[in-house]
Each structure stands twice: as structure tokens, then as C-alpha cells.
Structure 1
Amino acid sequence: MRLVIARCQVDYVGRLTAHLPMANRLLLIKADNSVSVHSDDRAYKPLNWMSPPCWLIEDPGVWTVQNKAGEKLVISIEEIMHDSKHELGIEPGLVKDGVEAHLQVLLAEHVTTLGDGWSLVRREFPTAIGPVDLMCRDADGVSVAVEIKRRGEIDGVEQLTRYLELLNRDPLLAPVKGVFAAQQIKPQARTLAEDRGIRCVTLDYEALKGTDSDEFRLF
């Protein structure tokens, strides 16, 4: 990553033309050769940029960023106030708190959130068309397949419906009921689920995180 703070003007020449008059700006040159021009506002959004594949040609007072289509970002530099390079290394990627995997672990630990007397049979219960997030038994010993989403939409209901159709063919499991659990459930998804006899449960992620696990608890 190269960070350059310079007094410059920027002209884009391509399918359209755009001009940024002379001012102090931040120029970001990344390892993928992309170049973006930033001001001291607009949050993360650049004023102008050139996405890869592109290359930078540095001449005295003029930098030209060009891509294969012949589009150009011409940066006319009056003064450079800062120029530094930094090795950032490999990006491990964004890990979101509250993703479906986290919800699955928490709900498995606190399965009684779904009902008193409930017990966990298995996480990632295997079927021929993919794993069910949680297989549980309710207080009456009835099998319950639980599908977990961050945002409950119609596709999730359809997915659980397919699991239930398959699981109910197994005489050792049937009858199998369904629970559609999510942090947010869209009204259309809720209507479809309830029409198919699937119970909907809205999960409070923060509350689940703050609750002691009831896994392996005797009393």
C-alpha cells in the first residue's frame, strides 16, 4: 500500500470526462495497482479511481493511470507532502459477529430457548440434500429440524421445507416438525412458514451471547 498526500488536480479521460481542480488530496496506490483519489470527507468513497487491471506511469509532475480500454486518470501534481509505502500482508477477510455459524453454536448451547425440556440431538444433522443446522427433540420427544438464518427469507423456508419432506420419509425420525429461526424474519417468509406448519422464532443474538450455556447441565 502506498499513501501519497499531494496538492494535485485530477482529470479522467474515457467514456466520460471528469475534472477535479487543484486541492490537497490523498492518493491510494494498492498492491493490485488500483489507484483512488480521496478528499478529507465522503467517508470511504473516493472522488475518482481506476480499478485493476491498470498501470501507473510516473513522470515529473504528472502521473497517468491507464487501463486496457485506454481510459486514463491524469494526476497533475503541484506538491507532494507525504509519500510512504506499507506492507499490509495477506488479508484474512472480514469475520462478522452474529453470522449463521455463530448463531448455530449459540442456539445449540441454549436449545431450551426454543422450549422447556428441549434437547439437542446433533448439529449439522446429515441428509442426502445437505445438513440440517440443528436436529432436536422437544419436551414430548418429537424430532424437530431447526434451520437458522441471520435474515429469514422465503428461500430459507423453502430449504427447511425440503429437509422436512426428506426427513419425514424416515420412519425412525417421523414425525419431524420444523422451526425457522432467525434474527429477523421477513413477513412473507413468516406467512409461508406458518402456512406450512413451520414455527418461526426470532433470535436475540446479544441475549444468547450473555446466557450461560445449558449444554451438559444436569440441573
Structure 2
Amino acid sequence: MRLVIARCSVDYEGRLKAHLPEATRLLMVKADGSVLIHSDGGSYKPLNWMSPPATLRVLHEGLDDGVIEQWVVQSAKTDDRLLINVLENFHDTAHDLGVDPGLIKDGVEADLQRLLADQIETLGSGFSLIRREYFTAIGPVDILARDANGTTVAIELKRRGDIDGVEQLTRYLELLNRDPLLAPVRGIFAAQQIKPQARVLATDRGIDCVTLDYDAMRGVDDSASRLF
């Protein structure tokens, strides 16, 4: 990773044209060949960039007055190119970041499924687990359980519950209720957040909604810091 802070102007040439007037910016050159131009705002989004694969050439001759070097970033797939005219270089450093292990997400649906299966009575006293990932002809039901009355319950889990999740659970229920060994089967739509429209649709179809507290389920919730 190479990081350069420089006063520069930038031109993008290709299927479209774009120009960034002279200003101080961060130039980022990654090992994969990508080049990104950042300002001190705009969050994570660069002002302009060239995606890999690309080649970078630095020119020092035949430049306009005041330009100390020009970066020519050429796409390997198209005729697009990025021209960066550097007028003043304030900082230039390079670091070998090594191989990145990638993002490990916490609180994904698989984590919710595992925790809820282990704590199935979160859904109510007397609940018992039949199995996780109960396979059907149209896909796996996240959790199949029985409630205190012995009724089969199909549970669909989402981090953020929307209408599509309710529709998915509806299809599972229609199929499962054809099985005389399971019927009657009722549904629970469980998520960390459930959108109002999804809640209305679920209620209209006789599906219960449960909001899950992920932190409490994994034992890191600080109940003493709560107001309620």
C-alpha cells in the first residue's frame, strides 16, 4: 500500500470524462493495481479511482509548468485512463500490509440460528428443538421446533426482517402443512429488527413475530446500563 498526500489535479479519460481541479488530496495505490483519490471528506468513497487490473507509469518530462510529475494509470481492460498531475508532494510512504484474512462478521443469520437453537425457550416456556436446517423441497427451514402444546413451529430467522422473509416463511408453512406427520405447523418470524410492513403482513397471515436481542443471547448485554 502506497499513500501519497499531494497537491494535484486529476483527469479521467475514457467512456466519460471527469476533472478534479487542483487541491490537496490523498492518493492511494494498492497492491492489486487499483488507484484511488480521496479528499478529507466523503466518508469512505473516493473522488475518483481506477479499478484493477491497471498499470501505473510516472512521467517527469514534458509536463506543464508547475507539475513535478504525472501519474498515468491505464486500465488493462479498456481505453480508460486516469491522469494525476502532481504539483507538490507533502508525504509519500509505502507499507506491506501482507495477506488480509478477510472480514469475519458477527451477528450473521448463522450465529442467530445457533444461539436460538441452544436457547429455544427464548421463544416461550416449554419450547423444544426438533432440528436446525430442516430441509424441504423448496429450501431449508432455519429451525423446526415444538411449542408447549406439542404443535410444530417453523422459525424463519433474519438479521433484519422484511416482507421477503415473511413470504419465504409463508411458502415453507404451506409445504409443511401438507405433511401429516408435522401438521398443523405454525410460523414464527424472528429477527433483530422487523420492519413495520413485515410485521403487519406476518400478523395478517397468522405468523408470530419475535424480536431477538443478539447481545443478550450471547451473554454480553449489560442489563445494569439499561434504563428499562
Q: TM-score, normalised on structure 2?
A: 0.82
Q: Choose 84-93 or 31-40, whichever is displaced more.
A: 84-93
Quote the offset at 1:147 in angstroms. 0.4
Equivalents in 2 of 1:161, 1:184: separation in Å? 19
Per-residue displacement from partner, 1:175-201 (whole Å, max 9, x unpaired)?
Answer: 111101111112222222122211111
Equivalents in 1 of 2:5, 2:197: separation in Å? 50
Give the residue type in structure 2 aligned to 1:154: I
Give the residue type in structure 1 aligned to 2:18: T
| SS of residue in 2 equivalent to 1:20 | strand
| SS of residue in 2 equivalent to 1:191 | helix
Quote the offset at 1:97 in angstroms. 2.0
Quote the offset at 1:71 in angstroms. 3.4
Give the residue type in structure 1 aligned to 2:56: L
Residues 66, 123 of structure 1: CA spacing in aligned structure 2 closer, same or farther, 3 A cutoff?
same
| SS of residue in 1 equivalent to 2:136 | coil
Structure 2 match to 1:118: 127
Quote the offset at 1:115 in angstroms. 0.6
Per-residue displacement from partner, 1:85-144 (whole Å, max 9, x unpaired)?
Answer: 333344333233221111111111211111111111111112222111111110111111
Taking the TM superposition and a 5 Å limit, the aligned residue runs for 1:99-118 are 99-118=108-127
Counting matched residue pairs gives 211
Matched, 1:88 2:97: yes
Structure 2 match to 1:10: 10
| SS of residue in 1 equivalent to 2:97 | coil
Matched, 1:203 2:212: yes
Taking the TM superposition and a 5 Å limit, the aligned residue runs for 1:1-219 are 1-14=1-14, 15-21=16-22, 23-60=23-60, 61-67=69-75, 68-210=77-219
Equivalents in 2 of 1:151, 1:25: separation in Å? 37
Equivalents in 1 of 2:119, 2:164: separation in Å? 25
Q: Choose 193-202 or 82-91, whichever is displaced more.
A: 82-91
Quote the offset at 1:69 in angstroms. 4.2
Q: Choose 200-209 or 73-82, whichever is displaced more.
A: 73-82
Equivalents in 2 of 1:193, 1:159: separation in Å? 11
Equivalents in 2 of 1:127, 1:12: separation in Å? 52
Equivalents in 1 of 2:94, 2:220: separation in Å? 46
Residues 109, 46 of structure 1: CA spacing in aligned structure 2 closer, same or farther, 3 A cutoff?
same
Equivalents in 2 of 1:141, 1:204: separation in Å? 26
Structure 2, unaligned runs of 5 or more: 61-68, 222-228
Equivalents in 2 of 1:13, 1:34: separation in Å? 16
Equivalents in 2 of 1:114, 1:24: separation in Å? 56
Structure 1, unaligned runs of 5 or more: 213-219
